[in-house]
Amino acid sequence: MTYSAQVPATGGPHWLVVTEEAFVPADSGGRVETANLLAAAAAAGVRLHVIVPGLDANGRELHRRALPGVRLESIPRKEELRSHVGLAPYLFASRPLPQGLPAQLLRDHLADPYDAVVAASFRVAHLGTDLAGRLGVPLVVRPHNVESRYFRQLARSSGALRRWPYLVESWKLRRAEAALHADERVSLFADIAEQDAADRAARTRTPVLHVPPFLTVRPDDGRPDQGRPDGGRPEQGRPGGDATVLFLGSLDNPNNTDAVRWFLDEAWTGVHAAVPGAGFAVVGRRATPELSSALRDRGVRLTVDAPDVHVHLRAAAVFVNPVRAGAGINIKMVEAMAAGLPVVTTTVGARGLHWRPGEHLVVADGAADFTAAVVGLLVDPAERAAIGEAGRRFVRTELDGARHISRMRAALDHPRVPG
């Protein structure tokens, strides 16, 4: 992923941003969202100092190429077993604030003041509150979902070995959320999903703003060319040509692995029987050997840790997101729609934005309906193109990064400053 924005050395707003992890390559929903937020802020003229947990020397170079002109700094991750012990959620305990960093940042602040601290995920909200309080500047927390709810859903999707650790983490996160909702160091919550924003607003006096996902900024954005040198739309998935059905997502996530297995067991046989030339491709990171073998044994084209998922999006005919549990917004769907790829998902997968089923995407629940929806798009190029283009227009209009940054900056004009 490459961004063209260059940030001026001086002048303009100055944000100290803490991310939850390295975000290049952007091979998961959280990483895509973080990378896109930073790219949008940089393109809007915001000067960024970005703190990244667990960023090694090789990763630093990759991140510098992705965000030229942005100041990057790494802090340690503590992923050992003892990070699970205690009342603090593992998500917090595994991302400690290094000794000496606050003093360094205070010196930086005195020389070139920060206008805000941005915790780019709830998972680093504890770092954001600490730093905002020390620096005396507003704090924006950008939750990707309600984490306690997300971990409860992970528990329901997992086997016995993982279920109890997920439930314990969910309990710890509920306590952390309640504390954060009452913390006066937080000036603004910028929730990614509309329902999450409404739920949070009912539980905190801190202002809550619904800021949908940031769309990927790519060098070819705004051009009609989406894959052919002549600028035309590729005729993907046409009978007799490529008819690839694509799933994209982190393959160590129980919700995603459940979705892939369900689609294979309940829908894929019917799809392939109706469209014999169709193929199923899965692209993601951290696939277990067991899952990899199971997919390849079924003839699935598996790509693990792809450096650029857009290559796979452009080569597909239909994108499927048959997720049966989850929280927040499925960023993978946004990426697919931005590429002009028609999406078939479930009611669970369609939550979070006011896209319209049947116009911007296709929503189907149950094996028979999901199979019929995928087959219908594969055999109908006109419908496939209409849904793909409508989805593309929707995300480009609704998820405009410049507008999102402008709204966040406007909300910070009257901040709740740490007391």
Decide whether 14-214+400-411 matches 244-398 in CATH topology. yes
Q: In which band, very low, low, confident or very high, does the pLDDT at 417 lie, cut at 50, 70 and 90?
A: low
Task: Report the pLDDT averaged over residues 230-238.
Answer: 32
- Lowest mean pLDDT of 102-111, 318-327, 364-373, name the range: 318-327
Higher pLDDT, 390 or 28: 390
Cα 37 off chain centre by: 10
Q: DSSP states of 231-299 as a string? A: SPPP-TT-TTS--EEEEES-TT-HHHHHHHHHIIIIIIHHHHHHSTT-EEEEEES---HHHHHHHHHTT
Pairing of the two strands 279-284 and 301-304: parallel
pLDDT value for 69 = 86
pLDDT digits (tens, 9 = 90+) for 209-220: 999 999 875 544
Position 34 scores a pLDDT of: 94
Q: Is the pLDDT of residue 232 over 60?
A: no
What CATH topology corresponds to 14-214+400-411? Rossmann fold (3.40.50)
Asked if 133 and 183 touch (Cβ cutoff 8 Å), the reply is: no
What is the predicted pLDDT for the residue at 162?
A: 87
Percentage of the chain with pLDDT > 70?
89
Give yes or no for residue 2 having a pLDDT over 90.
no
The arithmetic mean of pLDDT across residues 338-350, rounded, is: 93
pLDDT at 119 over 90: yes
pLDDT tens string 131-153 = 999 999 999 999 998 999 989 98
Residue 104 pLDDT more than 90? yes
Q: Cβ of 10: how many Cβ atoms within 10 Å?
A: 7
Q: What is the mean pLDDT of residues 104-111?
A: 96
The mean predicted confidence, pLDDT, of the chain is 87
Q: Assign 66 a pLDDT band (cuts: 50, 70, 90).
A: confident
The pLDDT assigned to 8 comes to 42
Neighbours of 62 (CB within 10 A): 16
The segment with the largest mean pLDDT, out of 8-12, 22-26, 116-120, 296-300, is: 116-120
d(CA 18, CA 9): 20
Would you tell me which CATH number, out of the four given (3.30.70.20, 3.90.1170.40, 3.40.50.2000, 3.40.50.300), belongs to the domain 244-398? 3.40.50.2000
Q: Is the pLDDT of residue 11 over 80?
A: no
> Average pLDDT for residues 15-36, to the nearest whole number?
89
Residue 185: both structure tokens together = 């160091």
pLDDT in tens, 149-200: 989 988 887 888 889 999 999 999 999 999 999 999 999 999 998 889 999 9
Domain residue spans of the chain: 14-214+400-411, 244-398
pLDDT of residue 229: 26
Neighbouring-strand partners of residue 357: 361
3-state helix, strand, coil in the chain (%, to 5): 45, 15, 40
For range 246-265, the mean pLDDT: 90
